């Protein structure tokens, strides 16, 4: 029998990668498939939670048994996360969010005939959604962030996670390595879970579903 330790808990999970439009036909994006966020949403559903999946450009079909709300740009994702999180017990930001967006969106297609051999883009910073959710947090809400880092040195990798959780202020931070062949779009993952002080409170590797269940275990331990 499966444990129903999330019975009655409202869980909001973001998954996938944002797309920032350049013109009507092009965007700046990233390689997140949505698999890790979806695995979290499915694991929470199977453990009894009332799940909302905020879906940013998923490569795979969203699962059954949950509410799915689409979001494409970082700015849409931010608005939807704030609205959906208001009465949630657990909020998980697994989506890969663009740190920058083009400063202007061209109304027509950008034409090479008009631009010549090089094209300069100016990007502006997007607001940090996770930080904003932490600032707006309701009583007893648990907020979980992710950190996707390419650093290969294990100590430096952990230090980046510790610095990130202090900066963002989430209750938990799931640190995973990403690269050309790791993290994004793979079927497995390897993570370290940090608490808000940067202490290691969980570790997992295996399928994204197994990793998701271990992350939920860390959330439950945190709730007690």
Q: Give the per-residue contact string, 59-98, with ligand PMT (x = CB under 6 A; - = no).
A: ---------------x------------------xxxxx-
HSE of 177 in the Cβ direction (CA atoms, 13 Å)?
18
CB 142 within 8 A of CB 196: no
Supply the DSSP string of 193-211, one letter for each residue: EEETTS-EEEEEEEEHHHH
Give dist(CA 189, CA 159) in Å, integer: 19
Q: Is 130 in the site for ligand PMT (CB under 6 A)?
A: yes
Instruction: Give least dist CB 10 to ligand PMT, A.
Output: 19
CA distances from 200 to 33, 149, 179, 187, 210 (A): 27, 17, 23, 24, 18
- Can you tell me which of 9, 20, 34, 49 binds ligand PMT, judged by CB under 6 A? 34
Q: Give the per-residue contact string, 201-220, with ligand PMT (x = CB under 6 A; - = no).
A: -------x------------
CB 94 within 8 A of CB 14: yes
Q: Is 128 annotated as a binding residue?
A: yes
- The catalytic residues are 30
Instruction: List interacting residues with ligand PMT (CB under 6 A).
Output: 32-36, 74, 93-97, 99, 126, 128-130, 145-148, 176, 178, 183-185, 208
Q: Which residues does the annotation place in the binding site for CTP? A: 99, 109, 127-130, 146, 164, 168
């Amino acid at each position: 029998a499966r444990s129903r330790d999330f019975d009655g808990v409202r869980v909001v999970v973001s998954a996938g990668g944002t797309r920032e439009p350049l013109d009507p036909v092009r965007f700046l994006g990233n390689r997140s498939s949505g698999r890790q966020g979806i695995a979290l949403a499915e694991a929470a559903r199977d453990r009894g939670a009332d799940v909302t999946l905020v879906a940013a450009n998923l490569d795979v079909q969203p699962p059954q048994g949950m509410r799915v709300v689409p979001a494409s740009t970082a700015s849409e994702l931010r608005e939807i996360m704030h609205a959906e999180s208001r009465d949630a017990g657990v909020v998980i930001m697994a989506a890969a969010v663009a740190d920058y967006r083009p400063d202007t969106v061209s109304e027509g297609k950008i034409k090479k005939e008009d631009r010549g051999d090089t094209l300069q883009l100016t990007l502006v910073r997007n607001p940090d959604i996770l930080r904003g959710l932490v600032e707006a947090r309701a009583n007893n809400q648990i907020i979980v962030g992710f950190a996707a880092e390419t650093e290969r040195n294990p100590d430096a990798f952990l230090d980046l996670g510790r610095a990130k959780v202090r900066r963002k202020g989430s209750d938990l931070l799931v640190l995973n390595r990403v690269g050309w062949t790791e993290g994004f779009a793979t079927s497995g993952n390897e993570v370290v879970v940090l608490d808000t002080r940067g202490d290691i409170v969980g570790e997992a590797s295996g399928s994204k579903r197994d990793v998701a269940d271990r992350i939920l275990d860390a959330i439950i331990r945190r709730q007690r």
